[in-house]
Homo-oligomer: A and B are copies of this chain.
Amino acid sequence: MSNQLPYYMPTGREVEVFEHSFHKKLPLLLKGPTGSGKSRFIEYMAAKLGVELISISCHEETSAVDLLGRYIIKGRETVWQDGPMTKAVREGAILYLDEIAEARPDTIVAIHSLTDHRRELYLDRHNEKIKAHDNFLLVASFNPGYQKGWKELKQSTRQRFISMSFDYPPAEVELEILQNEAGIEENIGKKLIQLGNKIRNLVELGLTETSSTRLLVDAGKLIKDGLPPRLSCEVAIVQPLTDDKITIQALKDLVSLVF
């Protein structure tokens, strides 16, 4: 692994699958919870493959116009301006649609012709049809753990992607991440992982999501910066997870057991 690559610790065969998808030009969907490293993985793969990365955080108001482009007025002229998706297709970049299920339907439909045998993008408004660059790859992420009421991806969209599940890393990998990112000692790192795993196993607390690696890293940073460990864990792990006073107390008790 080259030194210039951004820091990323693989937790399975995700690098291999990504490389074959890229080679066969098959769109890729990463499924997994908050903070499981999906965004970092994409950054790492883009750097490893030497391809530019264009990231879009999708939300309820992301529309095709935002992604494809629009006419803007320059002086007396009306000029077409490529949006980020069009740029990626034209110039050959990895386009990362983070939380694709949040985007508006016209966004999702806009990728249909890009994700089948055609690999073309239609710009109706600009009256242009673009063949995707050889280096273009569409990658999307999706959090299947969201409870009912959150948007689903339609099967007619899902079946257009090779898919991989992401989950929190195994303890030894997580320890390496913690030491690398927060700069803490192994001893503190192990305690944080112990705390993280205790929380992840406490299904009876009814948390909508559980402690991601990110929370452990944040706590580590504060400890490293001199804030007392218990207070660091309270503000970086406990308080972000819940507002319920009884659950907060239960989690603080857990913290006191570890630190």
Known: A16-B227, A116-B39, A231-B13. A239 touches B31 (CB 8 A): yes
* Residue in A55, A163, A215, A226 whose Cβ sees the most chain B Cβ within 10 Å: A163
A225's partner among B20, B59, B156, B235 (CB-CB below 8 A) is B20
How many residues of A sit at the interface, in one of the four size bands? Answer: 35 or more
Interface segment, one of A22-30, A168-176, A192-200: A22-30
With A61-B104, A104-B61, A113-B55: A162-B240 Cβ-Cβ less than 8 Å? yes
Q: For residues 58 through 107 of chain A, which have their beta carbon under 8 Å from a beta carbon of chain B?
A: 58-63, 66, 71-78, 81, 83-84, 98-99, 102, 104-106
Max chain B C-beta neighbours (<10 A), residue from A60, A155, A243: A155
Q: Does A51 contact B (CB under 8 A)?
A: no
Contact of A254 with B by CB under 8 A: no
Which 10 pairs from chain A and chain B are nearest by CB? A144-B243, A163-B239, A155-B209, A59-B109, A34-B156, A59-B105, A57-B109, A60-B105, A61-B106, A20-B227
